[in-house]
């Protein structure tokens, strides 16, 4: 099922779609992909290459909300992070929870903390915040950093 | 504290966590186990708030917990006493800048005894509860 | 439909990262669905971290969870070190592993006791917790505190283990090992425990992979992942030990994995203590500046992989810290393990993941749909205990 060198396989599979590719160390890889491809990428890495999905992180940067999908190849001691920038104007991305059951909660969490809309999520309910938390207020969005 | 004389002999405690790191909570449970053995003072941890004389509150009170905490406190029979355990319950501690923290506990319900520490040692918790008992009636 | 009852469980459980609120949907005795609500303990730590310096952050993440209170600091330091490309001194590596493994010992024992409490074996609870105390004493000897050890910092550890303290530590460890051995034998040979836990709440290997389960939950289902082996950080690559796995995926397998892991931990600590005698040198390197960039660190906590992601912009505070605790991915597996089982087994299956144990606390409020029947967590515990009694009777073991 999985190839002996999944990193090379991913590179070959998506070579004309990859926006940037960084090999920080032999253990850590960061690639940037356009958001249209995320379901294909997740399916390829998780289902075909047998990686373990660790978690996704959302980061608010000045340009866009970046969503980072962290995948682990445990036996090869490599962690591959797929970065997907989501512009703030149309803040939505296809959900990968239908492909990876373990992504269900984290997508709900990112949705409420960072205000990213996950399309076709199986259960897009609120996860962490209180029932009376105001809609449209996203605690992990950055305020202008005047205090630093 | 005249009306509390009834609690002097054997107080039953209920334990409630309102958003702690659960270290205070394991230390409370630790008090019950053979090394510290709170039951020799007649103190028993009960499973239902309706049976309790004292609640031990830990944690910095998160927004989602607040209504539950108040409800639990209201359901407690009179006379009721509250002990706040750990820096979180006392002052929200390290979590005070958080957006989801609405504590400390005594902002919302009256607290009768404070046990500081992060986490307080079981000896300190026992001491706090015993002092509270000593101050009754 | 008209036979459906919803049993709320929670939200007050003292011993876990997040108080949870379970709703069990039952038909007669059988659970047909379970919903998990979390967030009662959401303390916005990731946001607070953005206003802490890298050194302060360690103390903050230490307070994510009181039971894994050294796992998060280790993972966090791993992440900072990955970001800045720091290599820690060898002596610091051994000390990190010693503290990490002591924590695994105390956490697994704590869990075993509470699992016993759940199925009505309070004797097991009291015994195991009694034998857990010496380990806390070891902690006090090594770090100065029973919990929240404050041992880690980016670049190494804060406190050394003096040569003179090693014999006492070894002795304490030997004694603890004897006790753990006794408890393990007693638990694994107990026919009642076997009858009660075998074949209950099975998580298949495929499901474990699909839900991305980690730690003992995954290893009990035959998935041999363990960060300590797969990415040997600290001293785990320098000492000899093995990963414990089981194939069955039921609650009993999880018990076996945890209990046997205790012995591996003791093995690791022993070797580290030995190595400390011969490895001299610093216990930390100076960390001057954290460059801009990203770092990922993980650590095998008692419950599974703890994952930290840090992004820095070159200042003394992180721009973003992402924390993933193991329970976050282990807990959703109850969606497949609990439905189909009887109500009496639900408590122990939920507890087997090791997210929540002493659920003596919850709110007295029962959502009751059709039948007008009141269920409380106490009722569940009672059911669970009754079942143990029944099994004991069937086996002809008196419970007096
Ligand atoms: S006071 Fe300290 S130990 Fe207690 S819950 Fe708060 S952070 Fe945890």
Q: pLDDT tens digit string along C84-116?
A: 888 889 889 899 999 999 989 988 888 888 778
* Domain span including residue B82: 9-135
Chain centroid to CA C363: 25
Q: Assess if residue B2 is contained within a domain.
A: no
Return d(Cα A69, Cα C111) in angstroms, integer.
Answer: 31
Domains with residue ranges and CATH for chain A: 6-119 (3.30.460.80)
Same domain assignment for residues C305 and C387: no
Q: Assess if residue C239 is contained within a domain.
A: yes
- Which residue ranges of chain A lie beneath pLDDT 70? 1-3, 130, 143-148
Q: What is the pLDDT of residues A4-28, one digit of tens each?
A: 788 888 888 888 888 888 888 888 8
Q: By alpha-carbon position, which residue is closest to atom 6 of ligand 1?
A: B88
Q: Assess if residue C36 is contained within a domain.
A: no
Same domain assignment for residues C293 and C397: no
Q: Assess if residue B94 is contained within a domain.
A: yes
Same domain assignment for residues C207 and C99: yes
Same domain assignment for residues C330 and C221: yes
Examine residue B79 and say whether the peptide bond preceding it is cis (omega within 30 degrees of 0): yes
Our count of domains for chain B comes to 1
Chain centroid to CA C385: 24
Ligand 1 contacts CB of residue B88 (under 6 A): yes
| H or E segment to which residue B54 belongs | strand B54-58
Q: What is the pLDDT along chain C (400 residues), one digit of tens a residue?
A: 445 666 555 444 433 334 556 666 777 677 777 777 666 667 777 888 888 888 888 888 888 877 778 888 898 999 999 888 888 898 898 999 999 999 899 888 888 887 787 777 778 888 888 888 888 888 888 888 888 888 888 888 888 888 888 888 899 899 889 988 988 888 888 888 888 888 888 888 888 888 888 888 889 888 888 888 888 888 888 888 888 888 888 888 888 888 899 999 999 999 999 888 888 888 888 888 888 988 998 888 888 888 889 988 888 888 888 888 887 788 778 778 877 777 777 777 777 766 543 222 232 223 333 333 445 555 666 666 677 777 777 666 654 4
| C197 Cα: distance to centroid of ligand 1 (angstroms) | 34
> What's phi and psi for C382, nearest 5 deg?
-65, -45
Q: Assess if residue B31 is contained within a domain.
A: yes
CATH number of the domain to which B113 belongs: 3.40.50.12280
Q: Assess if residue B104 is contained within a domain.
A: yes
Query: How distant is the Cα of C12 from the closest Cα of chain B, in angstroms?
Result: 6
Q: Assess if residue C98 is contained within a domain.
A: yes
Ligand 1 contacts CB of residue B21 (under 6 A): yes
Q: What is the pLDDT of residues C206-229, one digit of tens each?
A: 888 888 888 888 898 888 888 888
* Domain span including residue C297: 45-339
Q: Ligand 1, from B59, B65, B88, B114: best to mutate by most atoms within 8 Å of Cβ?
A: B88
Same domain assignment for residues C261 and C392: no
Query: How distant is the Cα of C307 from the closest Cα of chain A, in angstroms?
Result: 8
Q: Assess if residue C105 is contained within a domain.
A: yes
pLDDT over 70 percentage in chain B = 93
Residues in CB range of A144: below 8 A, 6 or more apart: none
Instruction: Calculate the alpha carbon distances from A97 to A46, C37, C113, C373 in Å.
Output: 12, 18, 35, 36
Q: Assess if residue B1 is contained within a domain.
A: no
pTM above 0.80, yes or no: yes
Examine residue C145 and say whether the peptide bond preceding it is cis (omega within 30 degrees of 0): no
**Which residue from B84, B75, B126 is spatially nearest to B107, judged by alpha carbons?**
B84
Which chain A residue's Cα is nearest to B62? A130
| C321 Cα: distance to centroid of ligand 1 (angstroms) | 21
Same domain assignment for residues C253 and C332: yes
Which residue, C320, C339, C358, sits at the end of a domain? Answer: C339
CATH number of the domain to which C315 belongs: 1.10.645.10
Our count of domains for chain C comes to 2
Give the pLDDT score at C266. 92
Complex prediction ipTM: 0.87
């Amino acid at each position: 099922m999985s190839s002996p060198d999944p990193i090379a396989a991913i590179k070959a599979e998506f070579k004309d779609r990859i926006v940037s590719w960084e090999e920080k160390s032999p253990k850590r890889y960061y690639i940037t992909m356009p958001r249209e491809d995320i379901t294909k990428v997740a399916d390829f890495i998780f289902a075909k290459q047998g990686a373990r999905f660790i978690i996704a992180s959302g980061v608010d940067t000045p340009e866009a909300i970046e969503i980072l999908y962290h995948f682990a190849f445990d036996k090869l001691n490599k962690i591959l992070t797929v970065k997907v920038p989501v512009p703030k104007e149309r803040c939505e991305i296809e959900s990968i929870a239908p492909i990876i059951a373990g992504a269900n909660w984290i997508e709900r969490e990112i949705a409420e903390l960072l205000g990213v809309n996950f399309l076709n999520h199986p259960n897009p309910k609120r996860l962490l915040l209180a029932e009376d938390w105001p809609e449209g207020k996203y605690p992990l969005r950055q305020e202008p950093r005047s205090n630093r | 504290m005249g009306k509390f004389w009834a609690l002097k002999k054997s107080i039953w405690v209920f334990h409630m966590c309102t958003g702690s790191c659960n270290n205070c909570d394991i230390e409370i449970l630790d008090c019950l186990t053979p090394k510290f053995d709170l039951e020799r003072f007649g103190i028993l941890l009960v499973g239902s708030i309706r049976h309790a004389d004292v609640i031990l509150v830990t944690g910095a009170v998160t927004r989602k917990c607040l209504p539950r905490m108040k409800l639990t406190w209201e359901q407690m029979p009179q006379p009721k006493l509250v002990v706040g355990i750990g820096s979180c319950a006392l002052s929200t501690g390290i979590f005070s800048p958080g957006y989801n923290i609405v504590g400390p506990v005594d902002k919302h319900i009256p607290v009768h005894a404070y046990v500081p520490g992060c986490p307080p040692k079981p000896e300190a918790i026992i001491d706090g509860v015993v002092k509270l008992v000593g101050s009754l009636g | 439909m008209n036979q459906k009852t919803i049993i709320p469980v929670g939200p007050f459980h003292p011993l876990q990262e997040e108080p949870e609120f379970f709703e069990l949907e039952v038909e007669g005795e059988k659970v047909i669905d379970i919903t998990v609500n979390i967030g009662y303990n959401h303390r916005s730590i990731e946001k607070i971290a953005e206003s802490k310096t890298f050194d302060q952050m360690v103390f903050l993440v230490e307070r994510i969870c009181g039971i894994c209170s050294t796992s998060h600091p280790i993972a966090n330091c791993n992440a900072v070190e990955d970001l800045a490309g720091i290599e820690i001194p060898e002596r610091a590596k051994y000390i990190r592993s010693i503290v990490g493994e002591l924590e695994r010992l105390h956490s697994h024992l704590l869990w075993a006791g509470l699992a016993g409490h759940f199925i009505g074996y309070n004797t097991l609870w009291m015994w195991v917790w009694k034998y857990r105390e010496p380990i806390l004493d070891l902690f006090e000897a090594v770090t100065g505190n029973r919990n929240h050890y404050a041992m880690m910092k980016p670049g190494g550890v804060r406190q050394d283990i003096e040569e003179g303290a090693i014999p006492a530590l070894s002795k304490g460890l030997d004694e603890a090992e004897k006790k753990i051995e006794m408890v393990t034998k007693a638990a694994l040979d107990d026919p009642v425990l076997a009858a009660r836990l075998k074949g209950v709440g099975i998580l298949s290997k495929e499901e474990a992979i699909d839900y991305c389960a980690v730690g003992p939950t995954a290893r009990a289902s035959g998935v041999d992942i363990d960060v300590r082996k797969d990415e040997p950080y600290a001293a785990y690559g320098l000492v000899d030990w093995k990963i414990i796995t089981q194939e069955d995926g039921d609650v009993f397998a999880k018990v076996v994995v945890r209990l046997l892991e205790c012995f591996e931990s003791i093995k690791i600590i022993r070797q580290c203590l030995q190595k400390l005698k011969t490895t001299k040198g610093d216990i930390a390197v100076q960390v001057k500046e954290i460059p801009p960039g990203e770092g990922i660190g993980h650590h095998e906590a008692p419950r599974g992989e703890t994952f930290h992601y840090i992004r820095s912009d070159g200042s003394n505070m992180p721009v973003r810290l992402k924390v993933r605790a193991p329970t976050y991915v282990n807990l959703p597996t109850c969606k497949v393990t609990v439905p189909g089982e009887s109500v009496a087994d639900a408590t122990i299956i939920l507890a087997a993941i090791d997210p929540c144990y002493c659920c003596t606390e919850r709110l007295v409020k029962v959502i009751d749909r059709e039948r007008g029947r009141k269920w409380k967590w106490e009722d569940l515990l009672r059911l669970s205990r009754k079942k143990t009694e029944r099994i004991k009777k069937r086996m002809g073991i008196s419970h007096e």
